[in-house]
């Protein structure tokens, strides 16, 4: 059993308790201070193209995904079967350098993307963009597979491998080393440092505090709401979560991978299984639901903005859900045991498929098929509420409450299943993002035990803060930081595409000749 040294625990308690006691005051100070300094940055990252409501950062991600899809000749389709074989371990040589298997790397990266966005975010997209948003969400997810392929191949190729068997990789390394090989060392260094800074900030906020905050909210919801013993006591949830998180992340990527390879399949089976049961109960509406999705994709079915509104919401949700092009997943995939960088590119392209094409689509189908979106009986179109800026829903709910209501409409106790999924999603996201932030931290401050432990302790402190406080501007800034990572990362990917192409051509030719062989049946 891992135990935190008693003096350290005492010091943490000494520092945390007074802060938590004055949470409301600190909350107000933090909100006002952070908003004043970070507002312009947040506004810039999420600003729409002139005359539209389409955020330019989403366009940046979609354009990048389109370029990589064309450049690599629909690699997401060509390599799909081989990717599954790699995850099964068919081509895994246990003697290769690295710390985790292909499956563990995939599970770790998936645990960082499969989260609350698949539950609450999709509900928002469908209630604003209508069922048609689902079609564009799927399309964006399919294209995003090529972005993941590109960045994760580079993550392995340019990783640092140490004598003790550990590795460090990700955009920080392929930006500095890869662009350095192209005589763009200064550009590469600047981009790498910027990426590392944004990654640390994103890991503390969106990858940590937001997850802890939402997990606490769900626990309050199922234990009595305002009358819950947890109501107004987020620090209790935070301390419990922080203790569990620390016990996992103190062991490094191997410990994280061992947890995620169990949690990710379980939570996916639980969530998708519940969704499939609801769909089966409403089997007579399946054809109608898909008709709504396809019709809405090209007509908008009366929602505000019509076709454009559906497209914007679909692309936005896919980009915010699977993080393709953000570069975060490349950090987890860099730890894989392999001597062929391209193999992890193949494995990683499965992530947007599972995250967006499968899980997000399941959420959207459940909402549509259970009739949670209200239809005007006279026009047959969805009942648009101009004041709320979305379609009217049963009970007037939105976000995670809309998804919960959809689940509950079929089976009364399914919202409890959803609550379990939310907590697991939040926990798995936190431990994955702790690793992303750690690697960015050690890139800036050195690969030392002190740097390693200091980040992990700081990360756990932010777990408590996130659960206990309402840090709106901090979360907004951290989300903006995560997508600022994409700006930096994709610039580097454009320069390094030819490197990935050479790796791909070399591997496929050796695979065809039989030089690359299977190690397992």
Q: What does the pLDDT look like over 296-342, one tens digit per residue?
A: 888 766 565 566 667 777 777 777 777 888 898 898 888 888 888 99
How many helices (DSSP H) and strands (DSSP E) are in the chain? 24, 4
Determine the Cα–Cα distance for residues 490 and 370; give it in Å rounded to an integer: 39
Work out the percent of the chain whose per-residue pLDDT is above 70. 85
Determine the Cα–Cα distance for residues 250 and 335; give it in Å rounded to an integer: 16
Whether 387 shows a pLDDT value over 70: the answer reads yes
Contact assessment for residue 167 and residue 98, using Cβ atoms and an 8 Å cutoff: yes
pLDDT (tens digit per residue) in 182-211: 999 999 999 999 999 999 988 888 778 877
Rounded mean pLDDT, 501-518: 87
Q: What is the separation, in whole angstroms, between the first and last Cα of the chain?
A: 37
Helix (H, G, I), strand (E, B) or coil at 277: helix
Number of neighbours of residue 385 by Cβ within 10 angstroms: 15
- The β-bridge partners of 167 are 161
pLDDT (tens digit per residue) in 124-166: 788 888 888 888 888 888 999 999 999 999 999 998 888 877 7
pLDDT (tens digit per residue) in 46-96: 888 888 778 888 889 889 999 999 999 999 999 899 888 888 877 776 666
Determine the Cα–Cα distance for residues 348 and 247; give it in Å rounded to an integer: 27
Determine the Cα–Cα distance for residues 308 and 328; give it in Å rounded to an integer: 29
The residue with tokens 């604003």 is 128
Determine the Cα–Cα distance for residues 248 and 139; give it in Å rounded to an integer: 35
Residue 241 pLDDT level (bands cut at 50, 70, 90): confident
Helix (H) or strand (E) holding 385, with range, is strand 384-385
Q: What is the DSSP string of 281-327?
A: HTGGGHHHHHHHHHHHHHHGGG-TTHHHHHHHHHHHHHHHHH-TTTS
Q: Where are the alpha helices (DSSP H) in 446-471?
A: 449-468
Q: Among 481, 305, 467, which residue's Cα sits nearest to residue 391?
A: 305
Determine the Cα–Cα distance for residues 276 and 365; give it in Å rounded to an integer: 10
Q: CA quadruple 387, 389, 391, 392: dihedral positive or negative?
A: negative
Write down the pTM of the prediction: 0.83
pLDDT (tens digit per residue) in 19-47: 555 544 455 565 566 667 677 888 888 88
- Burial letters for 130-143: b for 16+ Cβ neighbours within 10 Å, e otherwise? bbbbbbbbbbbbbb
Determine the Cα–Cα distance for residues 103 and 350; give it in Å rounded to an integer: 11
Q: Which of 4-13, 165-174, 384-393 has the lowest mean pLDDT?
A: 4-13
Determine the Cα–Cα distance for residues 200 and 193; give it in Å rounded to an integer: 11
Contact assessment for residue 493 and residue 175, using Cβ atoms and an 8 Å cutoff: no
Tokens of 429: 């996201």
């Amino acid at each position: 059993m891992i135990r935190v040294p008693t003096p350290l625990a005492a010091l943490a308690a000494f520092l945390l308790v007074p802060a938590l006691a004055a949470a409301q005051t600190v909350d107000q100070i933090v909100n006002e201070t952070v908003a004043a300094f970070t507002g312009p940055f947040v506004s810039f990252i999420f600003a729409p193209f002139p005359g539209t409501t389409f955020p330019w950062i989403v366009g940046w991600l979609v354009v990048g995904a389109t370029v990589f899809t064309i450049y690599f000749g629909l690699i997401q389709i060509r390599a799909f079967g081989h990717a599954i074989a790699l995850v099964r371990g068919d081509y895994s040589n246990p003697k290769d350098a690295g710390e985790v298997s292909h499956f563990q790397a995939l599970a770790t990266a998936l645990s960082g993307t499969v989260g609350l966005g698949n539950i609450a975010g999709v509900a928002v997209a469908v209630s604003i963009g209508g069922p048609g948003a689902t079609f564009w969400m799927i399309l964006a997810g399919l294209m995003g597979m090529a972005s993941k392929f590109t960045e994760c191949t580079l993550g392995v190729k340019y990783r640092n491998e140490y004598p003790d068997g550990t590795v460090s990789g990700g955009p920080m390394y392929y930006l500095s080393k890869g662009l350095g090989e192209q005589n763009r060392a200064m550009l590469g260094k600047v981009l790498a440092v910027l990426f590392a800074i944004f990654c640390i900030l994103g890991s503390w906020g969106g990858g940590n505090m937001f997850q802890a905050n939402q997990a606490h909210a769900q626990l309050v919801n199922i234990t009595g709401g305002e009358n819950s013993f947890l109501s107004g006591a987020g620090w209790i949830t935070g301390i419990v979560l922080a203790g569990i998180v620390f016990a996992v992340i103190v062991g490094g990527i191997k410990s994280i991978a061992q947890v995620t390879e169990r949690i990710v399949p379980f939570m996916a089976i639980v969530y998708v299984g519940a969704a499939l049961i609801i769909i089966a109960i409403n089997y007579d509406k399946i054809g109608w639901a898909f008709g709504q999705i396809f019709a809405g994709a090209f007509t908008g079915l009366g929602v505000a903005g019509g076709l454009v509104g559906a497209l914007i919401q679909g692309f936005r949700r896919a980009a915010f859900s699977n993080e393709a092009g953000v570069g975060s997943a490349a950090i987890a995939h860099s730890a894989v045991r392999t001597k062929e960088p391209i193999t992890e590119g193949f494995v990683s392209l499965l992530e947007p498929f599972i995250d967006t094409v499968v899980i997000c689509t399941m959420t959207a189908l459940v909402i549509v098929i259970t009739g949670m979106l209200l239809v005007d009986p006279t026009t047959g179109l969805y009942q648009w509420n101009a004041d709320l800026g979305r379609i009217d829903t049963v009970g007037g709910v939105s976000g995670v409450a809309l998804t919960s209501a959809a689940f509950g409409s079929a089976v009364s106790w399914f919202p409890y299943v959803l609550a379990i999924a939310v907590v697991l999603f939040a926990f798995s996201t936190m431990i994955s993002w702790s690793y992303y932030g750690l690697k960015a931290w050690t890139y800036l401050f050195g690969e030392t035990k002190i740097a390693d432990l200091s980040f992990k302790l700081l990360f756990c402190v932010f777990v408590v803060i996130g659960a206990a406080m309402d840090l709106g501007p901090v979360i907004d800034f951290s989300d903006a930081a995560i997508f600022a990572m994409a700006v930096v990362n994709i610039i580097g990917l454009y320069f390094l595409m030819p490197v990935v192409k050479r790796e791909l051509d070399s591997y496929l030719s050796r695979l065809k000749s039989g030089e690359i062989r299977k190690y397992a049946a």
